[in-house]
Amino acid sequence: MRVYPAGETVCRELLELPQYPIDWVITDATADELVAAGFQPIATDATCFLHPGSGDRYQLARRQRWDKATAKLKVECGKDVTLEDELATQPLTILAMAKDGDEIIDPFDGREDLDQGVLRHVTPHFSRVPDNVLTVAVWSAMLKAWGFSIAHGTHALLKKMVAAGAVDRLEQQAISDAVLKALASRRPSAFFLVLHRCGALRSISCELADLFELSAQAGAHHSDGSELPEAMQAIDRAASRTDNVASVLKQFHQALGGNAEKVFESLGLEILYQNAHSQTS
């Protein structure tokens, strides 16, 4: 059994960002061995476990394969599955790195993309995971303040995914979780802008998509020269002043005006709408 810090943990370390509980990858092991060692399996993912002491997440190395018979992307685990196999399951190259001591294990050139400020997909399997649309948008919001942009090929894949109905397969909980992560970032508007540009936003929130289109038509009238709707500018201003998501949501609610209830409902934030509404009434 070998254990490596990997994924977001390595990315955050290289960017000198605050760390969450460490993400680990385990190779040369089986699920039964981990359970016998006291690890607790996560109910929603039989390949991921919580350490009995630290509570850190330990991911059993996976290999992805496309099952033509079921037309589904499947994963398999086993002692023959390598660390590189697991890193290949990550959506973005900047997340497809691990560490062995002081050595960075980087089979997909994530460090180079990190240095150049690029969000790039790892393998063609990227387009078979609908949640990757949200993942790219969230990381764009998290890193936009540092000048990160989406690689042209990855943006093209996002548009193809949307055209193929990927957004229709997203769970509402996944959408609301992603929105809350974006609102906790330095540049929340980047999340919605990515979804707008790849065509996903209209399937998620028609009201927000309309705001972007109307703002683009009147873009020359913004004092800062941007084409962001006022609601997007409002949450960026709020996020620049505080890390409190509730405060950002309150500003979002105020800026949306009469559209607030429908937008919050479309994003799966109905309860938070009631809270924000009661504070602004």
pLDDT in tens, 44-66: 788 999 998 888 999 999 999 99
- Answer yes or no: do 62 and 187 share one domain: no
Question: Which residues of the chain are under the pLDDT cut of 50?
Answer: 220-225
Q: List, for residues 73-98, the tens digit of each pLDDT value.
A: 999 999 999 999 999 999 999 999 99
- Looking at the fold, whether 7 and 70 belong to one and the same domain comes out as yes
Residue of 78, 96, 98, 77 whose CA lies nearest to 87: 96
Domain coverage including residue 241: 130-281
Same domain, 116 and 141: no
- The β-bridge partners of 5 are 24
Matching residue, tokens 């996944």: 174
Closest CA to 117 of 158, 138, 146: 146
Whether residues 218 and 88 share a domain: the answer is: no
pTM equals: 0.91
Same domain as 261, residue 197: yes
Q: Rounded distance, CA 48 to CA 1, Å?
A: 15
Give residues with Cβ within 8 angstroms of 44, minimum separation 6. none
86 and 98, same domain (yes or no)? yes
Count how many Cα atoms sit within 13 Å of the Cα of residue 148 in the half-sphere of its side chain: 28
Claim to verify: residue 99 and residue 219 sit in the same structural domain: no
